[in-house]
Amino acid sequence: MNDRSIPAPTPVSLALVTGGSRGLGREMALQLAARGIDIILTYRSQAAAAAEVVAAIRGQGRRAVALPLAVGQGASLDAFVPALREALHEHWRREHVDALVNNGGNGVHASIATTTEAQFAQMLAVHLTGPFFLTQRLLPLLADGGRILNVSSGLTRFSLPGYAAYAAAKGGVEVLTRYLAVELGSRGITVNTLAPGAIATDFGGGAVRDNPTLAAMIAGQTALGRVGQAPDIGGAVAWLLAPESRWINGQRIEASGGIHL
């Protein structure tokens, strides 16, 4: 393969962030907008929260829309694609997004002995099957030279009891990242994984954010001596979509402050 046949990197001016109405996705969207990037964000049920994020982004002088998407449901994926096409035409007069951030998801805390098939199936649907087929459906809408960033978890590297189903699904996402990087390389599209550590958000019922004992324990196991905050991850996403990171491809990058080293 001759490098002259591969499209040059596309500067990211429009990014699609799934699960952008709250938590890490909200911070990702806001920090990307602060760097001059327009945003399409998705939400599953929190339309009001998504509207607040859109308003905040527009307040920064950027364009933004929010679209409903239940990433783990095939019917929702089918409905999302034409809605995205319509939004692209109506608000941007274009046919492609420059970057896709597969962030949306939820968690389950249960031991292997007590995890149900329904819980395991949900983790796979939301964190692996959904991102796989959403990315597949969006390939015609992703610009050549663009970016895909899949959000995983530090729990694929270190193990904590109760997170086996969630971590197993995220491990699949990390393998998917490498295969996407290989198969999309001819289009100049880079694909990477960002793996956050423990972050003080509402994820998992807000355990890290709201439990001082748990937060202190995590901080004591982290080289930088604290739990992560949403801006730590939003900034990492913005950097991974910046022109300076164009040669990073097929990699897992952990943003955890150095936990369990």
List, by residue number, the catalytic residues.
166
Closest CA to 112 of 151, 176, 158, 159: 159
107: left (phi over 0), alpha (psi -120 to 50) or beta: beta
What is the three-class DSSP state of 153? coil
Residue with tokens 């004591």, as numbered in its chain: 220
Task: Yes or no: say if 31 and 232 are a contact pair by the CB < 8 Å rule.
Answer: no
- Give the chain's count of helices (H) and strands (E): 9, 7
Closest CA to 204 of 166, 256, 249: 166
Task: Yes or no: say if 174 and 208 are a contact pair by the CB < 8 Å rule.
Answer: no
DSSP string, 157-175: TS--TT-HHHHHHHHHHHH
Neighbours of 156 (CB within 10 A): 21
CA distance 202 to 210: 9
